[in-house]
Chains A and B, each alone.
Chain A
Amino acid sequence: MGNAGQAKSPFQRTRPFTQPAKLSRALKLYRLRWKRRRFLVRSLRKRSELVPKQDRTTGIKRTDILLFVTVRNEEERLPYFLDYYRRLGIDHFLFVDNASTDGTGELLRRQDDVSLWSTDQSYRLSRFGVDWLTALQFRYGGGHWCLTVDADELLVYPDCETRGLADLTTEMERVGQTALGAVMLDMFPRRSISEVVYQSGEDPIESLPWFDANGYRTQIHQTYENEWIQGGVRDRYFFVSDPSRAPTLNKFPLVKWNRRYAYVNSTHQILPVKLHQFLDLDTQKHVSGALLHTKFLPSIMEKSLEELVRKQHFQNSDLYQNYHQTLAEGPDLWVETAQKYTNSHLLVELGLISKGQLPEN
């Protein structure tokens, strides 16, 4: 703020991200290039941790759209997950099973379009599964559109009710967009989590139809030059005391893969950073989607208890201890002004996903 009577020029304050001088940006990009190479080398070394259980990758055709996912005890979600993504047009699933103790492995082995690897190594030391998936993507992903999601994430994009993933990727290739950004929407039930009834195989959105339509904070990440989005129900319910630590909601789940690419931190960022730049600064030309996050099924209570003991997830701070503690008690996240999910048109209207240049229907 300026001194009395004299206001300083405002423009230093209004820049969304300080554009570093050309040379320092070049240096940064060079450092990131090495970072990417380190990630790749690291992942390739972690490849030995993966034990193939069911290898059907020979059936992958050149134009297939692939899905990569790491799971742990997801027997409950998987039937609908597989069904949902098959309907969107995933041709082949590549699963890493991280030491599941329920029927996840058997369920996956029964599917014709699934290749399965398993490992009982540390999830955290594998950068939360990213190393394993990067190794698989390096081996199988090149030249394919690759979708990387978690078992509790359902991808939606404009008109996904009538257009398959192949329609979307064709259209994205036509306009030269090779990565799809998506915001995670935390879905929650009308009542306390402990009261939710969910049967495996059902659409989890039927049980968790509500989300926060407002209050997402966006800033530009100075290093990776991507948008950094925070907000949603976890933000307002668990992280009021320290909003800067609230979960990151921006992801890049769908990418036309090149074996030199590497995810940085979950799928929040990807290297090279040029993939982050499908970002509109003025007009609207890029398409984006959302990941409906079905974390808050009743099983979260049990998992949170386990999490408190296992300490394998991101930051093990008191904040997260508290978070898991609260979740284990089955809180009620619903408020009156929350929004009920209907379809992708709603998200377009609310300004949470973008049609970009997709043709109307």
Chain B
Amino acid sequence: MTVGVVMLVHTALDRAEQVVRHWVKGGCPVVIHVDKKVPVADYDRFVADLSDVKTVKFSKRHKCEWGKWGIVAGTQSACEMMLRDFPDVTHVYLASGSCLPLRPIQELKKYLADRPRTDFIESATTADVPWTIGGLDSERFTLRFPFSWKTQRKLFDGYVSMQRAVGFKRRIPEGLVPHMGSQWWCLSRYTLSAILQDPDRPAYDKYFKRVWIPDESYFQTLARLYSGKIESRSLTLSKFDYQGKPHIFYDDHLQLLRRSDCFVARKIWPKATRLYKTFLDGDGSILSGTEPNPGKIDRIFAKAVDRRMRGRQGLYMQSRFPYNEWEGGVTSQPYSVFQGFTELFENFEPWLAKQTGTRVHGHLFGPKRVEFDGRQTHFSGALADAPELRDHNPQMFLANLLWNTQGERQCFQFGPFDNQEINWKIALDPNAQISVISGCWAVPLFQTNRNFADLRNEAARLQQIENDHLSILRSPYTKARVRIWSMAEFIETPMEALQIVVDEMTGKTQRRLTEAPRMYDLTGFGQFLQNLKNQGMHPYLMGDFPLDQAPEHRPEKRRKPYLVR
């Protein structure tokens, strides 16, 4: 008793020959089906090259086109030849020219000898598997497919939708329950001969000739009729990408393949010399005696699929330009924008860094320079502080900063002095947390000692800019988490407001903020606003600020009461 190998070959005949000799050396007879599309000269040379081997035969050639019946027809003739010419074969292993045995043939033979009546064929009903592409699962069995999916896609799709519209359905032969699965199986002589010698076979063949991709369903369906014991898995390791195309294994997959403990893998790249050398020249192949364990490979390849499906958010690069009008998201991680805080508090930046443990920048979009944390000239990855470079593409500046600091939350200050071009981008970004104390731009004006006429004009300009910004933040399109206080409102209860912002940044802390940032001395600020009003410029963004009165809660130095003992 032994295992017979049926090999379907269409390219890389030299590699196929190498593998055939390996099978034969392991004591397995091989029947080869060569695609009729292979030129006669190449075929003849291939046959001649293998003529010295007694247990290799060539079956009748069929034209194999992907998704068509030819592949099944080729498999059938080769299997018939195998069963007829090699009577001691108890299992037939279906392989392709790009399959590579990873473990010694003896181990495979022993594995199958221990399970004499088991059929290893992946076989699942259409309703239960998500493998199918193009939305064709059960319809593979009920529609007609006269056109090629690869070369006549429009006709193919058109004909399918026409049949759907008309409500056309083919009848599935009595007793058949459509199953699908990997094309690469290993069937026992009992099951395979029952399939091939079934008196109803002409009817089944006629039906499957018009099923789409019959090589994934013909044996998978019919095996269910006869098999005593189906192990619904393939002994051949084969990975598919999200489009359903098989992944190719290269030289640098060597260790991965060795650890898989699988018997056979496909597809192997014909030029992967190291793989062929290692696994065919004996000593390199795996000697474990254990069950195949493709789990590890599954996980690693799932990563690639995951990348394919989700991408890397907020990354711009050669070959990638994420563009999603409605989501608006251009950044890779959450960040916080503070407007008006550094104008109101002397030490807001160090205070915030200490309370939250985040990276706190100054005015990143400031007019004179990019105020990186610590006022570095080049931030992470040599991002320069030149405002000209930033303003050439402010959106990209922000995306770059956030991409290159992943894992560390970034905070920065913003205000009406800064480049306003970024406003919509930030407002539309769900990653942004924006806290605004409106009207604080007046504090630095109040502190300077300039001509009042200049101050008045400057105040009018800044108020207009901030108002425009606020209207963006309040627009229904905004996706950022926005909090806006007027200055008067904020200084009523600053600690509560700060607590809300910090909690949201760090994710609810149990800890109350103990230390407050130092607020600038605002004595006389009310009068300053009144003077502006008297000049006809009405500062309204700071809310109703009491005339010439310092905010009540301002931390005043209170003398400790004497204790008399």
What is the interface of chain A, defined by CB distance below 8 A to chain B? 1-7, 9-11, 13-16, 159, 162-163, 166-167, 170-171, 174-175, 181-183, 212-220, 227, 229-230, 233, 235-236, 240-244, 250, 278-290, 335-339, 350-361
Contact = CB atoms under 8 A, between A and B. Distances in A.
Interface stretch (B173-181, B315-323, B344-352): B315-323
Interface centre among B250, B269, B310, B382 (most CB of A within 10 A): B382
A235 B389 contact: yes
A341 B160 CA distance: 53
B438 to A, nearest CB: 13
B247 A355 contact: no
17 contacts: A11-B325, A14-B325, A159-B252, A163-B252, A174-B245, A212-B381, A214-B381, A216-B396, A227-B318, A236-B378, A236-B382, A236-B384, A280-B321, A281-B322, A284-B308, A335-B382, A336-B378
A182 to B, nearest CB: 6
A361 B420 contact: no
B379 A218 contact: no
B477 interface: yes
Nearest to A220: B321
Given A235-B389, A280-B322, A359 B248 contact: yes
The 3 residue pairs across chains A and B that have the minimum distance between CB atoms? A214-B381, A213-B381, A288-B319
B304 interface: yes
Interface residues of B, number: 71
A175 B378 contact: no
B468 A215 contact: no
A215 B384 contact: yes
A4 B465 CA distance: 9
A13 B322 CA distance: 15
Interface string B370-406: 0000001111111110101100110011001101100
Contacts, number: 223
A175 B318 contact: no
Contacts of A13: 424
Contacts of B404: 213-214, 350
A166 B270 CA distance: 11
B317 A7 contact: no
A219 B393 contact: yes
Contacts of B242: 357
Contacts of B312: 284, 351
A352 B468 contact: no
B420 A358 contact: no
Given A4-B468, A14-B325, A284 B425 contact: no
Contacts of B401: 214
Contacts of A285: 308
B506 to A, nearest CB: 26
B381 A359 contact: no
Interface centre among B377, B381, B386 (most CB of A within 10 A): B381
Contacts of B384: 215, 236, 240
B495 to A, nearest CB: 31
Contacts of B393: 217-219
A7 B321 contact: no
A217 B378 CA distance: 16
Nearest to A5: B471
B428 A10 contact: yes
A319 to B, nearest CB: 13
A7 B472 contact: yes
Contacts of A278: 319
Contacts of A284: 307-308, 310-312, 320
Given A7-B472, A170-B269, A286-B319, A1 B378 contact: no
B74 interface: no
Contacts of B323: 15-16, 281-282
B248 A170 contact: yes
B25 interface: no
Contact of B239 (A4, A11, A241, A359): A359
Contacts of A361: 250, 252-253, 256
B474 interface: yes
Given A282-B311, A283-B311, A335-B377, A360 B301 contact: yes
Contacts of A286: 319-320
A241 B393 CA distance: 14
Contacts of A279: 319-321
B467 interface: yes
Contacts of B300: 360
Contacts of B315: 351
Contact of B308 (A182, A288, A357): A357
Contacts of A282: 311, 322-324
Nearest to B392: A243
B471 to A, nearest CB: 5
B308 A181 contact: no
Contacts of A182: 318
Contact of B320 (A174, A242, A280): A280
A337 B427 contact: no
Contact of A214 (B309, B328, B382, B388): B382
Nearest to B387: A240
Interface string B462-495: 0010011001101101000000000000000000
Contacts of B256: 361
A125 to B, nearest CB: 30
B12 to A, nearest CB: 12
A1 B420 contact: yes
Contact of B468 (A2, A235, A241, A288): A2
Contact of A359 (B304, B311, B382, B386): B304
B303 interface: yes
Contact of A337 (B247, B325, B379): B379
B164 interface: no
B91 to A, nearest CB: 30
A285 B251 CA distance: 22
